[in-house]
Amino acid sequence: MSEAEPAAPRPFPRVPAHAWAWLQRSRPVLAEIAERLTGGPPGPGFVDELRRQVDADPFVRDGVVGGLGEVAVGGRVPECRPAGAAWAGGLTWWAAAIAGVTPAEFEARSRATPGRQRPLFGDEEASSGQVRPLRPIAEPPARTRRAPSAERALVVRALRELLAQSSGGQIPASAVRQLLEQLERL
């Protein structure tokens, strides 16, 4: 039985100008890349230097891709853009390159991922401008209700005393500090 030869690593694609422009504007990503490559913050001309070196130097390329992957896409190889997220073209290019696909393939994957966020308020509420009153919190059934603990009873009593000290809906900061001290001792 013969062993299959591993596939040759795919060469990293040439980075287009719009991807470099996005990187130049992304300060957190630049800071991470600079920290990985130089141990400090990015200096003047840092992105220009990256542009000159990324194709020829695997260490620089790994630092750029690693910093991008860590900060911009949360340390994972992105399969697609998160549902409902709008990304700049430069970030989309970088994410596609990290994922090993073309930007067109990455965009197709992102469109294929369903994900329309439901509106926070219904259409009828948004159009009328009226706010629906909050529903009261229902009491849980008796069999699932927790038995009051001694600590819980103390907290409830302390909160009631705190509210009793309010004046015009305002609670003195000293009373809040005192309550916090009491709760920390529990």
pLDDT in tens, the chain (186 residues): 445 555 555 677 888 999 999 999 989 999 999 998 888 899 999 999 999 999 888 888 888 988 888 888 777 777 777 766 777 778 888 888 888 888 888 788 777 655 555 555 555 444 555 555 555 555 555 555 455 566 667 777 777 777 777 777 787 778 778 877 777 776
- Using the 8-state DSSP alphabet, how is residue 181 labeled? H
pLDDT of residue 12: 78
Query: In 3-state terms, what secondary structure has residue 103?
Result: helix
Sequence-distant (6+) residues with CB within 8 A of 25 are none
Average pLDDT score, the chain:
75
All residues at 6 or more sequence positions from 106 whose CB lies less than 8 Å from its CB, including other chains: 78, 80, 81, 92, 95, 96, 99
DSSP string, 27-77: HHHHHHHHHHHHSS---TTHHHHHHHHTTT-HHHHHHHHHHHHHHTSTTS-
- The reported pLDDT for the residue numbered 96 is 84
Give the 3-state DSSP-derived string for 106-172, with helices as H, strands as E and coil as C: HHHHHHHCCCCCCCCCCHHHHHHCCCCCCCCCCCCCCCCCCCCCHHHHHHHHHHHHHHHCCECCECC
Radius of gyration of the chain (CA): 28
d(CA 4, CA 23): 39
